[in-house]
Amino acid sequence: MLKLDELDHIAITVQDVGRSATWYQDVLGLERRHEESWGDYPVFVCAGASGLALFPKDAAIEQSSKGQNMKHFAFRANRENFEKTQTELTERGIEFEFQDHKIAHSIYFRDPDGYKVEITTYELD
């Protein structure tokens, strides 16, 4: 049976790659990687071993993805950083919704292109 290690990245299309890269770096503290190899795009931003590949919106890309919908994507954080994220979002005027999933706490908010981002922690105390 195949055994996978972890989610490597999610590829999303955005209106302005530079704006989105800056947003993910400034707001969520993601680190840009592979710029020397890939140049302007895709822009790859990471949290640990997981990342986002940011591509410019393009009719051909959109057509090839037709019918596919993404509900949200989530990053995991420890309790301290989960709480810091809420403070940071509030200070930036970014609205978020808190949900108690019994085994985890999550907050949900939107990036500049309207994608729903989740930050979740399994440290409830």
83 and 62 in a common domain: no
64, 82 in Cβ contact below 8 A?
A: no
63 and 108 in a common domain: no
Place of tokens 């994608």: 115
9 and 41 in a common domain: yes
**Which residue in 9, 5, 94, 7 sits closest to 43, CA to CA?**
9
User: Which CATH number characterizes residue 97's domain?
Assistant: 3.10.180.10
The 10s digit of each residue's pLDDT in 43-66 is 999 998 889 999 888 755 555 555
45 and 80 in a common domain: no
Give the domain extent around 37: 1-69
77 and 65 in a common domain: no
The 10s digit of each residue's pLDDT in 5-22 is 777 789 898 999 999 999
What distance in Å separates the CA atoms of residue 41 and residue 98, rounded to the nearest whole number? 33
Q: How many domains does the chain have?
A: 2
